[in-house]
Amino acid sequence: MRNNIITILFWVVFLLMACGKHQSSDRQLILADSLMQSQPDSALHILQNISMQQLTTQADSAYYALLLTQARDKNYVVQTNDSLIRLAIAYYNKTNDTRMQAKAHYYWGCVYRDMNRKPEALKEFFIAASLIKDTKQKRQLGLIYNNMGYIYHFQGIYEKADSIYQLMETIAEELKDSTLWAESLSKQGSIALTKRDSCFSTAEQKLLDAFAIADKIGYKRIKADISADLSRLYSRTHRGEKALFYAKQNLSLRKDTAYAYRAFLLLGDAYYKTGQYDSATFYLNKTLLSKEYGKMANAYMRLADIAMDRGDAALSMKLERFSSIYKDSLYQIHRSEVNNKIFEAEANARITLQQLHYKKRINLYRYAFVSVAVIILISAFFIYRRSKEYRKNNDLLQKDKLQLEDANRSLNQHYADLKSDIAQKDIEIENIKKVIESRQIDNEQKERLQKELDEIILKRNALAKETFWYSPLYAKMTAIIKDYQDRDESELEITEQEWHELIIGVDTAWDNALSRLQAKYQLSKEELHLICLSLIGFPFSHFGYLMHLSRKTLYRKKTALYSRINMDQKGNFRDILRKI
């Protein structure tokens, strides 16, 4: 009997100690959660002192995993592994707690963001945003939008980024949240900088409004980013003093080395715009210590401009070559970045949301036979419907493909017919020339034949011009221009042989105008390309896409061409060329 009493007392003490230990861990988790917003460093310290072995339930383990991931994110600890947050995801996806489920997906997205896996991060933010809307936690939704906007902005998907930041601005105004408001305005202003010059006034207003808000709340990081954008804006609008002012502001607000190189580049550019070449050179050379090809390419190009302005053409050309080398390297890096993954992530997020929705339904009716049968029938219906839609879409795609092939065949046939017509006109021209050159006809017949010859030559030149519009080369040139307008790069490039064919075609279509100019002025290869593109009718702003030259270099070459052939620089370049 005594032994039984001792055994019972032992188990009672053991259970009380276990419960006490569990309650202690539970209280620590709740305390860490309560400190997360106001004192995230303290919350992280508490969580780091809790061991997973102390947590006896799956719910506590999931709660701990979520809180620790959140605390690390709020303390700017870069997370390179998602195994911890996966514990929270696995648990909360099986519950009906939508708020915690959304929170878990959001911080999974933050981990993927730290791991530089942007498509996966976007997918999780997309899921979190869809879930959080049901909980009406608008500030959390604003934070999610901020992260989604950042990814779209980084990938150059500016329209989606802008629409996301507008939604974020609406939430910030409603909540009177200055931090979200400053972020949304600054990012909208930054995106407006990537658009046409007519959008610069909008960009300036949004950036200045954001700067005022950030300055009021003392948010240095946002102020630094806004200062950088304002410096770029004023530099591009040739307001050098303002560009310099905000470039200095940007540098004074930066602490991290990675952003310091960007600040050096901005300062160098601003000093250049104000004519302070020594200071510009100093900061541009500091930029060259960066390992980012984009910054190095821009720094070398600006140093080349300074060398040219100082009259050192040899150094300028050398620095331009360095810039081109880094631009080519940057181009190779960017080619590997496929934005299709971003759009695939959106589609995958929708599928995952559907799966989460169905999981909840299955959990609710797991033990009900009727419900299982209904779910099977619904699933079968959706599979049938999807397969039917797939077949329908596949038929439409095949139909569109056939129509496109027919259109291409028609264009190719028209192109071949035009070339045949040109060949026929060439034969007629040669025959008439032979008759005119012979001495078997009188002057009156020669004059009549000469008029006929002139008319045929005009028709032949018109056909040559029309042929070019239907040529593969013209299609390739327009494709290159569109690529640069859409994503600031193109995998296509005009070969030397194609440039040669273009020069011959333009010379023929414009009655040997290029041959006459070349014989008289000994034009360079790039000058011939410049004249060809002008006569064809491409806008001057598109020349750089096709010739791989900066706008400043193109203007310099155009001015030099004016001087060599004694042309008046007033008026449209194309019209002036046609006159001569």
Which residue reads 């997906």 in tokens? Answer: 105
Point out the domain boundary residue: 331, 349, 382. 331
Residue 526 is which amino acid? E
- The answer to whether position 357 is within a domain reads no
Please indicate, yes or no, if residue 254 is contained in any of the structural domains: yes
Residue 140 CB-half CA count within 13 A: 24
Mean pLDDT comparison of 7-11, 152-156, 430-434, 511-515, highest-scoring range: 152-156
- Give a three-class secondary structure readout of 156-221: CCHHHHHHHHHHHHHHHHHHCCHHHHHHHHHHHHHHHCCCCHHHHHHHHHHHHHHHHHHHHHCCHH
Nearest-angstrom CA–CA distance, 140 and 101: 13
Least confident window among 34-48, 121-135, 212-226, 463-477: 463-477
Q: How many CB atoms lie within 10 A of CB 394?
A: 10
Q: In one letter, which amino acid is 244? A: L
Would residue 180 count as lying in a domain? no
78 falls within a domain: no
Query: How do residues 519-551 score in pLDDT, each as one tens digit?
Result: 888 888 888 888 888 888 888 888 888 888 888
What average pLDDT does range 8-18 have in this prediction?
43
| Tally of CA atoms within 13 A in the half-sphere of 271 that contains its CB | 21
| Number of separate domains in the chain | 2
Higher pLDDT, 123 or 373: 123
| Matching residue, tokens 């045949």 | 420
Find out whether 217 and 225 touch, Cβ atoms under 8 Å: no
19 in a domain, yes or no?
no
Cα 130 to Cα 103, 105, 148, distances in angstroms = 11, 11, 12
| pLDDT higher than threshold 70 for residue 4 | no
Residue 512 lies in domain: 481-580
Q: Helices marked H in 288-339 — which ranges?
A: 293-309, 313-335
Q: Where residue 309 sits, what CATH number does that domain have? A: 1.25.40.10
| Residue 251 φ then ψ, to 5° | -65, -40
Q: Which residue has the higher pLDDT, 165 or 409?
A: 165
Place of tokens 């949304």: 184
Q: What is the pTM of this model?
A: 0.53
Q: Is residue 326 domain-resident?
A: yes
Mean pLDDT of 512-523: 82
pLDDT digits (tens, 9 = 90+) for 368-420: 555 666 778 787 777 877 777 777 777 776 775 666 455 556 555 655 665 56
pLDDT for res 336:
43
- The DSSP 8-state label assigned to residue 49 in this structure reads T
Helix axes 178-192, 220-236, angle to 10 degrees: 20
Question: Last residue of a domain, which of 314, 331, 348?
Answer: 331
Side chain identity at 572, as an amino acid letter?
A: N
Q: Which of 331, 350, 384 is the last residue of a domain?
A: 331
What are the φ and ψ backbone dihedral angles of 535, each rounded to 5 degrees?
-65, -35
Establish if 469 belongs to a structural domain. Answer: no
Q: Is residue 428 part of a domain?
A: no
